[in-house]
Chains A and B, each alone.
Chain A
């Protein structure tokens, strides 16, 4: 059910401050798109506009068009809550609900929305989601333990299971491995490679090797200076970005000659 996303001329504001300017990008379905760039360049902010999470912050707003398979996410009839059910998100720090068990965390998307589901169906959904997140074997015997009792890497996979349990079309990942050790990171990267068969995945990462390892396309964000808006400098297949980028700024950043 993966869908493509086309953005044209997206400007993102915090109050009156223009944080990201003029982003035009096409994100292909069933692939991983990585967004890289220095801190504060607006890549996470841009990611959050793809499921309308940006506007949760008071004073934040978005201009421009974001279209997902012909559906205008910012159209006048678009409901942010519906958009978020179609576009799942995984955050930088694992954030399982502390009051819920592992099982309930995975079921949270449906339970919190008040969707009535039969016990057997729910069990099946929880199992398939946890299997999808490569976590089932590790937790199947302790589904009623609190979600926060897991290790950091397991918690992050639990969050991925929670996100895919609502069967989204797109999965956004905001530096999903930055709080994890290398082994957990590897587990998540393997998982992403499996998930891209079914979902459109957009990942923000600070780790260029990670972008090179997992993604098909890479977008490089940069900003000219403090207080300037971030821009999408270059968007190309990952191979090209890391071997022969079009822009000098990209090459400087990738080869570590940034700044």
Chain B
């Protein structure tokens, strides 16, 4: 049986038999070389005609994959050739998927850096036509609304997670778990419409308030907080709860003083990631908070500017001449990415440095 398996099947045998060996392998550098050659040919052809990168890359991949398969099939046999085919397809697919990330980061950084100056951070758009101006009002708006969202979402989300892990049994637990799942899937624009519909009922149609944006974002953030907090609280060993109960500590004090401190690193990470998830949300803010050129720091009084909505309007309605507003839009986008990445890094640091010390 084993000899059967190591020998290539009938199709490739003729070529093998002449050599008298059942196992011939290509050196490891060969596939790379084949792809290099394919790239050279593809880019050469494209350079002769009108050059387009996308087509050249497609030619390279098709050519490289086919050539590798053919070569391997003639030398190593069908089974190994199929294996190589899949390997090159999977690797190419991965490489293709990396292209957007790289180009996106490059694009945003190079375009966004143009207006990354002091004025961008400390002036608003009041009275700005054309050059200059900044996003101070939008940065403040994003900070205020994100803070409010966190203040609404974390208590509700955390207490729900505590309820699910420490108290709930039976039907209420199942239905809350299920509806948290449902909530995770609410499209962000629908959350925005919900906040609008809610406030329009009390304040009349056309209302725009900062707090509406916070409510809309909370609908998106709460389920994320619940999910991550639930996972983390479940990881707290039951032995610690029992140790606390055995000391005559009531359940609620056990949760507050033993369970939560033990899980605090994970909770912090989860909350930070949840903030990162909503800080770049644009659609709900577009329909609830609107946009303004002036600085407004009162979330209960009228429109506020926020970074994502600011970026959106600067790009889509740049005015004349468009270049200045478009530059501001890219800088705002860069700031957003930096904010999100920064929060991700903070989350990692929290989980690294605040984890309970167990070392000897």
Interface residues of B (CB under 8 A from A): 169, 237, 239-250, 253-254, 257-258, 261-262, 264, 356-360
Contact = CB atoms under 8 A, between A and B. Distances in A.
B110 to A, nearest CB: 46
A83 B249 CA distance: 11
B249 A95 contact: no
A161 to B, nearest CB: 12
Contacts of B240: 95, 97-98
Interface string A59-90: 00000000000000000000001111110110
A163 interface: yes
B248 A81 contact: yes
Given A82-B248, A88-B246, A113-B253, A98 B262 contact: yes
Nearest to B357: A146
Contact of A166 (B247, B253, B358): B247
A95 B253 contact: no
A166 B232 CA distance: 30
A98 B357 contact: yes
Instruction: Report the 5 A-B pairs with minimum CB-CB distance, sorted nearest first.
Output: A85-B248, A89-B246, A98-B356, A84-B248, A109-B247
A149 to B, nearest CB: 6
12 contacts: A53-B245, A53-B246, A56-B241, A89-B246, A91-B239, A93-B239, A96-B243, A99-B258, A99-B356, A112-B249, A148-B358, A166-B248
A36 interface: no
Interface residues of A, number: 32
A108 B250 CA distance: 13
Given A97-B258, A98-B262, A98-B358, A163 B247 contact: yes
B243 A114 contact: no
Contact of A53 (B242, B250, B356): B242
A149 B359 contact: yes
A20 interface: no
A162 interface: yes
B321 to A, nearest CB: 59
Contact of A95 (B243, B261, B360): B243
Contacts of B254: 112
Interface of A: 51, 53, 56, 58, 81-86, 88-89, 91, 93, 95-99, 108-109, 111-114, 146, 148-149, 159, 162-163, 166
A109 B249 contact: yes
Contact of A113 (B246, B248, B264, B360): B248
Contacts of A159: 243
Contacts of B359: 149
A85 B250 CA distance: 10
A89 B241 CA distance: 13
Contacts of B253: 112-114
A58 B262 contact: no
Given A99-B262, A113-B253, A149-B359, A56 B239 contact: no
Nearest to A113: B249
Nearest to A55: B245
A108 B247 contact: yes
Contact of A81 (B250, B264, B358, B360): B250
B358 A91 contact: no
B244 to A, nearest CB: 6
A149 B360 CA distance: 4
Nearest to B261: A99
B355 to A, nearest CB: 9
Contacts of A148: 356-358
Nearest to B257: A112
B224 to A, nearest CB: 25
Most chain B beta-carbon contacts within 10 A, residue among A51, A83, A99, A149: A99
Contacts of B248: 81-86, 109, 113, 166
B212 to A, nearest CB: 39
A99 B261 CA distance: 7
Given A58-B169, A97-B240, A98-B356, A163 B246 contact: yes
A34 B178 CA distance: 48
Nearest to A159: B243
Contacts of B356: 98-99, 146, 148
